């Protein structure tokens, strides 16, 4: 027999109001993320960036959209702090900071890709709910196609800002090898953003990009052609545990080892194919070594993404489900099980932990 609901007079009213205020904020954030995705997809932010302050009618005309929807969208965006509103003129505009973050894909501050990811992950809910009840998961390739677009757009700014400037120099003698001409394996390369950045930075080196998702490999090949580096970037459909052996100077796993069904197998293959003086670069989301260390906004985002995508992909393959908040200790154990004897944190950002593994 169920217990009666606790009497409301036992509730701390101040705490209850604070909690309900948080819930209302989360309602607004969740709904507004959908509208932000629409604004990016339809070029509403770009039109504001290009034309300056506009009324809803002017913005609708610039983007060939329906004014009545645009009018409501602008109210939402202004209340969210994503656009600015001038009551005197009735016009909306973007601040320099909003413009950079929402429209400039070359900027390290660009956040647009995240809204593609949010939209795609929300579509996974029926499958994830089923997995909660019956086990299993959701294979990467079975996700909404916007996930693959969003992941590239979301991670590329950080790679552009840090990969060549900070992360490669933090490794043991690898920068010199790549400048002189080395071989790089980018395992789990996705759309190839990290592979192309490496190829542009180290023209004497050859980059091999591997991913088990064929549509992503086709996209990466086209992107390399467009970037003018197809002569030194080779993309191939291959699993992380059996990619071709070329004896690499650097093997990189960018935000992907924790997703894999067999991360130990991937580490073993890296050990087998790495030169004796080479390094493994492991880029992982920022996470703590305890639950308490993840109880913050970054931990909130990564644990949610892990539930809806990362852990789900691993469990769909019968894996252990490292997940996006895998501790440093667990990552070290995984890499060590692959044969590596050296493992250290080489660098970090507010959003990433960068590890180096060596023989």
Write down all domains in the chain, each with its CATH number in brackets.
8-103 (1.10.10.10), 158-358 (3.40.50.150)
CA trace torsion 186, 187, 191, 192 (10° rounding): 0
Count helices and strands in the chain by DSSP H and E runs: 15, 9
The pLDDT, as a whole number, for residue 147 is 97
The pLDDT, as a whole number, for residue 6 is 54
Kind of pairing between the strands at 91-93 and 84-86: antiparallel
* Cα 5 from chain centroid (whole Å): 42
- Within the chain, strands assigned E span 84-86, 91-93, 183-187, 206-211, 233-237, 248-254, 274-285, 342-348, 352-358
What the block records as the tokens of 332 is 């070290």
Cα(91)–Cα(86) distance, integer angstroms:
6
Mean pLDDT by 10 residues, the chain (359 residues): 57 95 96 98 98 98 98 98 98 98 94 96 97 96 96 95 97 98 98 98 98 97 97 97 96 97 98 98 96 96 97 96 96 98 97 97
Cα(197)–Cα(152) distance, integer angstroms:
12
| Cut 0.85: pTM above it | yes
Strand partners, 237: 211
């Amino acid at each position: 027999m169920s217990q009666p609901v606790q009497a409301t007079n036992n509730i701390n009213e101040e705490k209850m109001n604070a909690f309900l205020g948080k819930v209302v904020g989360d309602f607004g954030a969740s709904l507004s993320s959908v509208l932000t995705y629409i604004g990016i997809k339809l070029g509403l932010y770009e039109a504001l960036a290009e034309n300056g302050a506009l009324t809803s009618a002017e913005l609708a005309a610039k983007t060939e959209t329906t004014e009545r929807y645009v009018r409501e969208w602008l109210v939402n965006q202004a209340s969210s702090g994503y656009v600015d509103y001038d009551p005197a003129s009735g016009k909306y505009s973007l601040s320099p900071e909003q413009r950079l973050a929402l429209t400039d894909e070359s900027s390290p501050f660009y956040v647009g890709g995240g809204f593609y990811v949010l939209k795609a992950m929300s579509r996974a809910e029926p499958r994830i709910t089923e997995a909660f009840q019956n086990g299993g998961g959701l294979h990467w390739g079975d996700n909404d196609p916007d996930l693959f677009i969003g992941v590239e757009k979301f991670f590329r700014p950080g790679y552009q800002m840090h990969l060549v400037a900070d992360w490669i120099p933090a490794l043991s003698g690898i920068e010199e090898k790549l400048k002189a001409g080395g071989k790089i394996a980018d395992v789990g390369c996705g759309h190839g953003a990290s592979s192309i950045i490496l190829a542009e930075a180290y023209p004497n080196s050859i980059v091999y990009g591997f991913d088990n998702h064929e549509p992503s490999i086709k996209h990466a090949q086209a992107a390399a052609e467009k970037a003018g580096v197809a002569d030194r970037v080779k993309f191939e459909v291959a699993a992380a545990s059996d990619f071709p052996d070329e004896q690499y100077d650097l093997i990189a796993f960018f935000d992907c080892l924790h997703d894999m069904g067999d991360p130990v197998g991937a580490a073993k293959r890296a050990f087998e194919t790495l030169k004796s003086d080479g390094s493994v670069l492991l880029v992982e989301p920022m996470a703590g070594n305890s639950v308490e260390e993840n109880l913050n906004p970054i931990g909130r985002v990564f644990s949610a993404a892990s539930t809806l995508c990362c852990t789900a992909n691993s469990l769909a393959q019968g894996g252990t489900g490292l997940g996006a908040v895998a501790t440093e200790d667990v990552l070290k154990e995984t890499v060590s099980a692959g044969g590596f004897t050296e493992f250290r944190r080489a660098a970090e950002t507010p959003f990433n932990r960068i590890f180096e593994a060596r023989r």
